[in-house]
Amino acid sequence: MIKQISGGVCAASGFQASGVHCGIRKSRTKKDLALIYSTVPAHAAAVYTTNLVKGAPLTVTKAHIADGLAQAVICNSGNANTCNADGIEIAEKMSALLADALPVRAEDVVVASTGVIGQPLNIEPIAAGIAPLTAALSPDGSADACEAIMTTDTKKKEIAVEFSVGGKICRLGGIAKGSGMIHPNMATMLVFLTTDVSISAPMLQKALSGDIQNTFNMISVDGDTSTNDMVTILANGLAGNKEITAEGEDFRAFMEALNTVNVYLCRAIAADGEGATKLLECAVSGAENTETAKTVAKSVVCSSLTKAAMFGEDANWGRVLCAIGYSGAEIDVQKVGVSFRSSGGCVEVCRDGAGVPFSEEEAAQVLHEKEIEILVSLGSGSAAATAWGCDLTYEYVKINGEYRT
């Protein structure tokens, strides 16, 4: 049984976190430097953006956790440290500064940055912020760390769950940032996960790499794959369960908990898309295979016209069918059905590839809610998939038209 609890990345035994304003961002009311720390070395795994333009922190992190170990995560917001000549040097310096302040090796530090691309990152504010950052470490510090990694996010994204592995009570928590530039391949924006489960580094990587295919790789806000996308997980083993070294009942229990946390964070990221007013969930059923279901679901949530229709509360189902048609998936259009569902009700708008009579007033009531399900039936099999996105609003253009200024 999985139970949601409080604590975020500090819910698991042995983890502390903090977040402070160090001066990277001009507003002193905004935290811009975050820290997550395990009191003991932990096994580590990560997935990264497939964008060929990658932030320097990703290169450094990949090298640091090549041995499957990490003990701390440091992340700044306000500057992505991407496309900078000294980017690697700055990221390594961040690790070294933290290693001077905590009993960790510089090589065991995960480094992350988020913000504007192509602007030099000054190390001086970070260096000055290390002392207050480490001094603020607390078992109650998840919310502060969560706030410090936000950029255009309007809401904190954190969760923790409690579950059992091999008769031992275990915990897994996470924080995330992501609001724009989200169309992930291998990760999405920044997600930091922590757990006290004892699991080998190879199995931890297998779990993370497997789960993101159905979670973080199934969300899209604007079709842009970021340069700094990264999901990392630290597992310090303090729960005391027998180490998971192979698939089996214990691994499945861990995977279920991981999926629970990741789905929650996916929905939170999609719902907080830049300028978004609605969370969109496209649930595809009746597909010939899972790949077809995924392709169709992502095509629908990526459709700018569908997203705009949802913002306008217009049941323009033709846009959904259009997105299905150009998805590249092999389907029989004459078997496709589409419905819209929310807490305001459910309305069928398309059956067997053709429109059916429906009440526009009833449809408007359904689409007026904050969370909209777009239900697509392909009528060709038993495979299913779900993707998450958001509506496209005037505010999205405003935010991104003024992002640097």
Q: Could you report the per-residue pLDDT of 111-159, keeping only the tens digit for each? A: 999 988 889 999 999 999 999 999 999 999 999 999 999 988 889 999 9
Cβ atoms 177, 190 nearer than 8 A? yes
Q: Is-contact 25 32, C-beta < 8 A?
A: yes
pLDDT in tens, 152-174: 888 999 999 999 999 999 999 99
Q: CB under 8 Å to 319, separation ≥6 — which residues?
A: 303, 305, 306, 309
Positions of the chain with pLDDT lower than 50, given as ranges: none
φ and ψ of 39, to 5 deg: -70, -15
Total-model pTM: 0.90
Residue ranges of domains in the chain: 3-271, 279-401
Q: What percent of the chain has pLDDT over 70?
A: 96
Query: What pLDDT was estimated at residue 43?
Result: 98
* Known catalytic membership, residue 306: no
pLDDT at residue number 180: 63
Contacts of 35 (CB under 8 A, 6+ apart): 17, 18, 19, 72, 73, 74, 75, 98, 133, 134, 137, 145
Please choose, from the candidates 249, 264, 224, 279, the residue with its C-alpha nearest in 3D space to the C-alpha of residue 390: 279
CATH class of the domain at 3-271: alpha beta
User: Which one from 82, 134, 152, 188 is the annotated catalytic residue?
Assistant: 188
367 touches 313 (CB < 8 A): yes
**Residues 269-315 pLDDT 10s:** 988 877 789 999 999 999 999 999 999 999 999 999 999 999 999 99
What are the residues facing 376 on neighbouring strands? 284, 338
Level-2 CATH architecture, domain 279-401: Roll (3.10)
